[in-house]
């Protein structure tokens, strides 16, 4: 599982359109390029197609029109296995992701699918759990953990595959402030390209230097997160609202 560096951006989406089998069209030509090591927040109102877009990035859904390219490889049958290793998706509900009887088995599931065995597998598991600070829970059953802990273990199950691109679907939902902060610290320490799907605008500001708005199935805005969040006309047009009393400029100033 070597991370061979390939030319080109980490992620490139061009003219991506998609309709569900029942005919409901969700994406109408999405263009998005994410450079290596970049952290991008994918914002947008409910039902804008954020999760649908995320599921195209590792070929779970196949583009109706347009292309998705990961590290220079087109997402399609030919490279599917390789792409799913390079692009790790952490799903919104950790109970969907954690399905094994113990944390160890669950974190081992991904690398084992790629033929990692024995001591190397164990090392993979331990490393990933250490990264998220959950090594103590290695022998526990996932359903005995708190939600914040389960979310961190779900992150570990993906990190164990050593992905180059990490896609997080609403990582902060239902977390208490301490668990939110711990997750920020964990994500901050990772050396990966990050695409974070979220409604949580302060979280987007805290973690991502760049934000894009997906609205009505197209990319409606793309720029530095602080600029996007302070453009009140743009925000209002796409049903995005800052939490009461939150001032992005003040928050950025306070961080420096």
Our finding on whether 217 is near another protein (CB under 8 A) is no
Contact of 45 with 235, CB cutoff 8 Å: no
Our finding on whether 193 is near another protein (CB under 8 A) is no
Looking at 91-99, 125-133, 186-194, 210-218, which segment touches another protein (CB under 8 A)? 91-99
Q: How far is the CB of 223 from another protein (least distance, A)?
A: 29
Cα-flanking dihedrals φ and ψ of residue 170, to 5°?
50, 60
Our finding on whether 18 is near another protein (CB under 8 A) is no
Q: How far is the CB of 50 from another protein (least distance, A)?
A: 15
Our finding on whether 110 is near another protein (CB under 8 A) is yes
Q: How far is the CB of 114 from another protein (least distance, A)?
A: 6
Q: How far is the CB of 200 from another protein (least distance, A)?
A: 21
DSSP 161-220: T--SEEEEESTTTT--HHHHHHHHHHHHT--SEEEEE-S-HHHHHHH-SEEEEEETTEEE
| Chain-centre distance for alpha carbon 168 | 2
Helix (H, G, I), strand (E, B) or coil at 63: coil
Dist CA 154 CA 88 (whole Å): 11
Residue choice 132, 145, 156, 197 for contact with another protein (CB under 8 A): 145
Q: How far is the CB of 255 from another protein (least distance, A)?
A: 31
Dist CA 213 CA 199 (whole Å): 10
Our finding on whether 71 is near another protein (CB under 8 A) is no
Contact of 208 with 41, CB cutoff 8 Å: yes
Determine the size of the site formed for another protein (CB under 8 A): 34
**Interaction site with another protein (CB under 8 A):** 55, 58, 60, 81, 84-85, 88-89, 91, 93, 95-102, 109-110, 112-114, 141-147, 149, 157-158, 161
């Amino acid at each position: 599982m070597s991370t061979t560096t390939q030319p080109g951006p980490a992620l490139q989406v061009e003219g991506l359109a998609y309709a569900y089998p029942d005919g409901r069209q969700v994406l109408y030509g999405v263009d998005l390029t994410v450079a290596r090591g970049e952290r991008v927040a994918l914002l947008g109102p409910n039902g804008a197609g954020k999760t649908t877009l995320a599921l195209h990035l590792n070929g779970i859904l196949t583009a109706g029109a347009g292309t998705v390219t990961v590290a220079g490889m087109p997402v399609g049958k030919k490279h599917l296995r390789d792409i799913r290793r390079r692009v790790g998706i952490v799903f919104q509900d950790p109970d969907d992701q954690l399905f094994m009887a113990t944390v160890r088995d669950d974190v081992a599931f991904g690398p084992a699918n790629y033929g990692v065995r024995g001591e190397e597998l164990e090392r993979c598991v331990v490393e990933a759990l250490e990264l998220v600070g959950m090594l103590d829970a290695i022998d526990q059953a996932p359903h005995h953990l708190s939600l914040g802990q389960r979310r961190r273990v779900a992150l570990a199950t993906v990190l164990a595959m050593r992905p180059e691109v990490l896609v997080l679907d609403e990582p902060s939902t239902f977390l208490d402030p301490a668990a939110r902060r711990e997750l920020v610290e964990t994500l901050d320490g990772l050396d990966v390209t990050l695409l974070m799907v979220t409604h949580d605008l302060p979280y987007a500001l805290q973690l991502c230097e760049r934000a894009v708005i997906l609205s009505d199935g197209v990319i409606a805005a793309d720029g530095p997160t602080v600029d996007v969040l302070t453009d009140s006309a743009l925000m209002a047009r796409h049903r995005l609202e800052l939490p009461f009393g939150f001032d992005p400029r003040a928050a950025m100033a306070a961080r420096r």
